[in-house]
Each structure stands twice: as structure tokens, then as C-alpha cells.
Amino acid sequence: MNWNTRVTEMLNIQYPIIQGGLAHLAYSDLAAAVSNAGGLGQVTAMSLSSPGKLKEEIQRVKTLTDKPFGVNFAIGQHGRSFAEYLDIAIEEEVPVISMTGGNPAPIFEQLKGINVKKLVLVAAKRQAIKAEELGADAVMVVGQEGGGHLGRDDIGTFVLVPQVVDAVSIPVIASGGIGDGRGMMAALSLGAEGIEMGTRFVATKECVHASELYKNRLVEGTENDTVVIKRTIGAPARVIANPWTDKILEIEKQNGSYEQLKNYISGNANKKYIHEGKDHEGFAWAGQVMGLIKDVPTVDELIQRMVAEGESVRKKWAESI
Ligand SMILES: Cc1cc2nc3c(=O)[nH]c(=O)nc-3n(C[C@H](O)[C@H](O)[C@H](O)COP(=O)(O)O)c2cc1C
């Protein structure tokens, strides 16, 4: 069966499946595994400690796959300038750049005249329109079910995606709450031409930097086990609920300052949980889709399973409608 959409054609991939940026988790192993399995893998630039490290990681992806891959830029979330990192991605001629978490205009400025596909992750219709005006090749639209940073409007994927499909003419990639072939087909039915997954890819064998404890929590947890933190500082983000995030929410409830929150929401606190498995000393991003995660397959097993599920949905539709 063919899975061609404008997204697969533009990105030159077999299946319309994109691995989202994953702070401190999306390195070369995962990115290459996703691209080798027929999707688009990505390295997350700003979790690397220097532009040189990004160069190493990109070069490692190139040794592991000859397929297209992307580099993800979370603007303004890491307190460091992205310009030098972006220069490395340009120098290494990466085929796809994705961006999120701030005003993408300076990235577009730096990419002027460069032959690279530009994807912008947005969480609202107005942001999608803006991304198209800036010259995005496609928008990824994340609903409030998603893991990690979200929009401020709390709109779910099912309402957001068709609105954005109607509002822009570039292809739309649905994100947030997708973890299997049924979710993928639902997204395509809404008019999306590709999907992006974050949480589901953490619970794979090739996400080698995620601790066993984190992966186990994703498998054992339910859709009720996430909460949204950082609302009071204007950067809502979905995490696995634990005593650490209870503390964050308590500070927020009492209108605590950024200074009071700072250590609780730091990259170090994130790494304690996700790398070291110390869940009492930090937090981990995850979406509601953790309620659908039941195993830790290889990336290839996951993608093949999703494709088979998608094909059986198509067959069912062809027979019953
Ligand atoms: C652990 C984790 C880390 C994330 N880090 C980033 C990031 O650095 N950059 C980014 O663009 N999105 C990031 N996201 C968001 C994902 O790329 C994706 O949009 C989101 O996970 C989709 O929702 P899902 O988790 O329901 O699949 C992260 C998500 C998770 C779960």
C-alpha cells in the first residue's frame, strides 16, 4: 500500500511518521532508527552542550543511515542562542529543520537561500498562519494531549488539526495523543498529511538515553497520570505526575515566582528523572498517550505495527463504506 502524501514527498520518506524533537533524548541512535524505519528521525539541537557536539551527532546519524533526517530547534527554552547551532546544521546540509517554542522569524532569516525543508511546530491556528507567511514548508500542530510544551489555549488535537488544515495551504502534520495506527489514520482523516509522535518514541529500544524507570512508567501509567506544569509562567507543559510535579503545582498555586520554580523545572531536574531514573529528584515530559503504551518495541517494530494497523483500518473502510 502506498502512504504518499505531500509530506512524504516533500521529506522524501516512506511513511508519514515524524519523530518529534525530544529534549535530552533525541540523539543519533533514535533519529537514525526512525529514518531507517521509513519515518523522519530528528536530533534535538539545543539539548547538546555545544555546537561541536551537534556536529558530532549529525555526523553520527549520517554513518547510521543514508535516509533523510531532521534537526529540531526549541527556540528560547535553553537560555542559549541557537544561531551557532543552526550554522552547524546548515554546514552539514541537514535536509530538514524543525522549530518550536518561540518566534521562528530569526531562524527563517538565517535559513534564507538555503535548500532545507522548514517545519514549524505550532499549537494554535494563528501561529500556523504566521508560519506559512514566514515560509514554512509544513506545520506540525500539537494538541493539548501532547507531551512536553503545549499551547496556552488547551485545544485538543481533534479540534485543532482540521481548523489548521482549513486555514493554511501548506501540508499539516498532526501531533499530540498519537501512539498507534488508529491514531495515525484518524489524523489523516482530519486532513493531516503526516503525524508527529513524541511520547511513543521515548518508549522504544533505540531511545537509549531514557532510563528504564521512565520507560516502565510510560508502559504502566494511564492517561490519568499526567499533569500540566508551568502554566503560571506562560509555558504550559505536560509531564508524568509525581511528588516532584506536585511540589511544582503547589508553588504555582501559591503564585510562586519563577525564582521559586527555577530549580524544580530545570534541565537538571529533567535529566535526573529521564537519564538516571531518579523520579523523586526530577520530572519527565509525557503526553496522555502514555495510557495507550503497553510495550517497549524497537522503532522498526513500532512503525511496522502502525502501518499494519493503518492498513487494516483502510481495508475495513473499503469493505464497509
Ligand atoms: C520527552 C519529550 C521531550 C520533548 N522535547 C521537545 C523538544 O525539545 N523540542 C520540540 O520541538 N518538542 C519537544 N517535545 C514535543 C514533541 O516533539 C511532540 O510535539 C509531542 O510529544 C507530541 O505529543 P505526544 O507526546 O502525544 O506524541 C517533547 C516531548 C516529549 C514527550
Instruction: Kindly report, residue by residue over 4-30, the tens digit of the pLDDT.
Output: 999 999 999 999 999 999 999 999 999
Cα 175 to middle of ligand 1, angstroms = 9
Pocket test for ligand 1, best of 195, 239, 285, 290 (most atoms within 8 A of CB): 285
Non-local CB neighbours of 121 within 8 Å, separated by 6+ positions: 20, 21, 98, 99, 100, 101, 139, 140, 141, 142, 175, 196
Non-local CB neighbours of 145 within 8 Å, separated by 6+ positions: 156, 157, 176, 177, 238, 287, 288, 289
Give mean pLDDT, residues 266-292. Answer: 97
For domain 6-206, the CATH class is: alpha beta
Q: ∠ at Cα 110 (107, 112), nearest 5°?
A: 110
Q: How many CB atoms lie within 10 A of CB 255?
A: 8
Give mean pLDDT, residues 180-208. Answer: 98
Cα 75 to middle of ligand 1, angstroms = 13
Pocket test for ligand 1, best of 17, 22, 119, 217 (most atoms within 8 A of CB): 22
Non-local CB neighbours of 299 within 8 Å, separated by 6+ positions: 30, 33, 34, 36, 37, 39, 201, 204, 205, 206
Closest atom of ligand 1 relative to the 175 alpha carbon = 22
Closest atom of ligand 1 relative to the 74 alpha carbon = 9
Cα 286 to middle of ligand 1, angstroms = 8
Question: Residue 81: what pLDDT?
Answer: 79
pTM: 0.97
Closest atom of ligand 1 relative to the 198 alpha carbon = 21
**Strand-strand pairing, 17-19 and 41-44:** unpaired
Band (pLDDT 50/70/90 cuts) for residue 1 is: confident
Q: What is the pLDDT of residues 262-271, one digit of tens each?
A: 999 999 999 9
Closest atom of ligand 1 relative to the 147 alpha carbon = 25
Closest atom of ligand 1 relative to the 143 alpha carbon = 23
Q: What is the pLDDT of residues 139-189, one digit of tens each?
A: 999 999 999 999 999 999 999 999 999 999 999 999 999 999 999 999 999
Residues with CB under 6 A from ligand 1: 20-23, 25, 44, 72, 74, 100, 121, 142, 145-148, 175-178, 196-200, 202, 285-287, 289
Q: How many CB atoms lie within 10 A of CB 204?
A: 25
Residue pair 123/147 in contact by the 8 Å Cβ criterion: no
157: cell is 488535537
Give mean pLDDT, residues 132-138. Answer: 97
User: What is the residue-wise DSSP string for 120-160?
Assistant: EEESSHHHHHHHHHHT-SEEEEE-TTSSEE--SS---HHHH
Q: How many CB atoms lie within 10 A of CB 116?
A: 15
Domain positions in the chain are 6-206
Tell me which DSSP letter residue 177 carries: S
Closest atom of ligand 1 relative to the 100 alpha carbon = 11
Q: Which of 132, 70, 134, 79 is nearest to 101 (CA)?
A: 79
**Separation of alpha carbons 45 and 153, rounded Å:** 27
Question: Residue 79: what pLDDT?
Answer: 57
Question: Residue 102: what pLDDT?
Answer: 85
**Separation of alpha carbons 113 and 105, rounded Å:** 14
- Which residue is listed with cell 543519533? 28
Question: Residue 77: what pLDDT?
Answer: 58
Non-local CB neighbours of 18 within 8 Å, separated by 6+ positions: 7, 11, 39, 40, 42, 70, 119, 140, 173, 194, 195, 196, 197
Cα 19 to middle of ligand 1, angstroms = 9
Cα 321 to middle of ligand 1, angstroms = 35
**Separation of alpha carbons 121 and 175, rounded Å:** 9
Q: What is the pLDDT of residues 81-118, one digit of tens each?
A: 789 999 999 999 999 999 998 889 999 999 999 999 99
Instruction: Provide the CA 241 distance to its chain's centre, in angstroms.
Output: 19
Q: Report which protein residue has its CA nearest ligand 1's atom 9.
A: 21
Sign of CA dihedral 42, 44, 48, 50: positive
**Separation of alpha carbons 192 and 8, rounded Å:** 12
Closest atom of ligand 1 relative to the 200 alpha carbon = 27
Q: What is the pLDDT of residues 227-278, one digit of tens each?
A: 999 999 999 999 999 999 999 999 999 999 999 999 999 999 999 999 999 9
Band (pLDDT 50/70/90 cuts) for residue 49 is: very high
Q: Report which protein residue has its CA nearest ligand 1's atom 8.
A: 23
